[in-house]
Amino acid sequence: MAERVVVVAVDGSEQADKAFAWYCENVHRAGDNVVVVFGAEYKVSFMPGQVSDTKLKQIQEEMSKEQKRVEGLTNKYVSQLREKNIKGEATPITGKKPEEAIISKAEEVGASMIVMGTRGLGTIRRTLMGSVSDYVVHHSKMPVIVVRDS
């Protein structure tokens, strides 16, 4: 049987953890290669030469905080993959809106499907705020499984 590549998109939330567990329990099959992806948000803006020492320190602290979050998520999911004896990796994605980055990474790795959770926003909130899972479902060229929190 040919190897499937499955992208599981997470964000550190309880819903994302449930989606990952659901994939492991219901969809995973021997030989799958799982790529767990999550956003890394290094949001820094400043004009070179116009940064005070205080602002520079604040930027460094924010960068360090985000790096620790990224390392924590990477370690968490790599550990879970190993515990479940599942081939795969956990990797941060950057540079685009999360929904675009998920699709881009899935296409890059030749994924057969994307699995992700949803926070279950109501119709009005989703319409006003948008939804990562809604965007991925409507723009992905591959099947998307959205695991709702029940």
pLDDT, tens digit, 9 for 90 and up, residues 31-80: 999 999 998 776 666 666 666 778 778 878 888 888 898 899 999 999 99
Q: Whose structure tokens read 């060229």?
A: 141
What pTM does this model have? 0.83
Locate the domains of the chain by residue range. 5-148
**Structure-block tokens of residue 91:** 């990797």
Helix axes 53-83, 14-26, angle to 10 degrees: 20
Question: Model confidence over 130-150: pLDDT tens digits?
Answer: 588 889 999 999 999 999 876
Which tens digits make up the pLDDT trace of 79-109?
999 999 999 999 999 877 889 999 999 999 9
> Where on the phi/psi map is residue 13: left (φ > 0), alpha (ψ -120 to 50), or beta?
beta
Containing 15, the helix (H) or strand (E) segment is helix 14-26
Which residues on neighbouring strands pair with residue 7, listed in sequence order?
35, 114
| 137 touches 115 (CB < 8 A) | no
Q: Tell me the CATH number of domain 5-148, given options 3.90.1150.180, 3.90.25.10, 3.40.50.620, 3.40.190.10.
A: 3.40.50.620
At 128, the pLDDT band (50, 70, 90 cuts) reads very low
Is the dihedral angle over the CA atoms 118, 94, 128, 13 positive or is it negative?
positive
